[in-house]
Amino acid sequence: MVGAVSALGLFSIILLPKHRHLALRAGLCTAPFGLLEFMFVPEYWNPPHLFGKWLSIEAIAFAFGSGIFAWLAAAIPLGARIKCNFNSARFWSRYAEVSLFLLAGIGVTWRGAPGLIGLSAGESSLIALGIVGTILLWRRPDLWPLACLGSLGFSVLYALQLVALGHLAPDAVLFWSVDVREGFFLFGFPIEEMMWAALFGAVCPLANAYVNEVRLVTGTELPDSFLERSPGV
């Protein structure tokens, strides 16, 4: 399933050249956060890993594909309203900034770090995503359509993934820890999965738009062929 997510993500950007550059950057920017898989094993779940939890190729590939899908879910409905003024230096500085916010949120809240609150890995990651999303919307309130569309669209896509996983591998739910499986379920899997999808789907497009200098324009500001001419989208 992890390989399918990555492959479908790459296939999607091949089929959608107008969104290729920004979608690929979204995937590449989220991929390194797959290295945080060690936080969740075995407290939250314990799936098989080719090289172990400290270098989870599976989690990196999943994060890459999820980043692509989250951006496409937000960007496709907006179409030509997306304008990108990419600047390499600004991109790297803002990517470091957003990453620092996320890691700081985890560091303060996760009980496996020198955190002040002592939450589980799942709770900590959700709160950290919420913190990053709040900061980004405060700085760029004009990007709220990306957050709403991304959250809704990626949640639907992720729900379909869970349903497919449940049919193809019914025992996959056993990868989640006993404590997690004692909670609420949605689409056959712990509800935390859909909570993550809703938050990730909102925050990933926001972060990608922020680091890539994306703005949303009205239909009167550009011709219909804008995306075909713009090298940054």
CB 22 within 8 A of CB 212: yes
pLDDT score recorded for residue 117: 86
Task: Please tell me the distance from the alpha carbon of residue 33 to that of residue 30, in angstroms, as a whole number.
Answer: 6
Token pair recorded at residue 108: 């303060």
How many Å separate Cα 85 from the centre of its chain?
22
pLDDT score recorded for residue 103: 96
Domain tally for the chain?
1
Query: CA of 116: how far to CAs of 102, 105, 110, 112, in Å?
Result: 15, 10, 8, 11
CB 27 within 8 A of CB 65: yes
What is the 8-class DSSP label of residue 232?
Answer: T
pLDDT score recorded for residue 136: 98
pLDDT score recorded for residue 228: 41
What is the 8-class DSSP label of residue 222?
Answer: S
Token pair recorded at residue 134: 């709040």
pLDDT score recorded for residue 233: 46
pLDDT score recorded for residue 140: 96
Burial bucket for residue 184 (CB in 10 Å: 0-12, 13-18, 19+)? exposed
pLDDT score recorded for residue 100: 97
pLDDT score recorded for residue 207: 98
Query: What is the extent of the structural domain holding 223?
Result: 2-229
- Per-residue model confidence as pLDDT tens for the chain (233 residues): 544 555 565 656 666 778 889 999 999 999 999 999 999 999 999 988 888 888 889 999 999 999 999 999 999 999 889 999 999 999 999 999 999 999 999 999 999 887 678 899 999 999 999 999 999 999 999 999 999 999 999 999 999 999 988 898 899 899 999 899 999 999 889 999 999 999 999 999 999 999 999 999 976 555 544 434 444 44
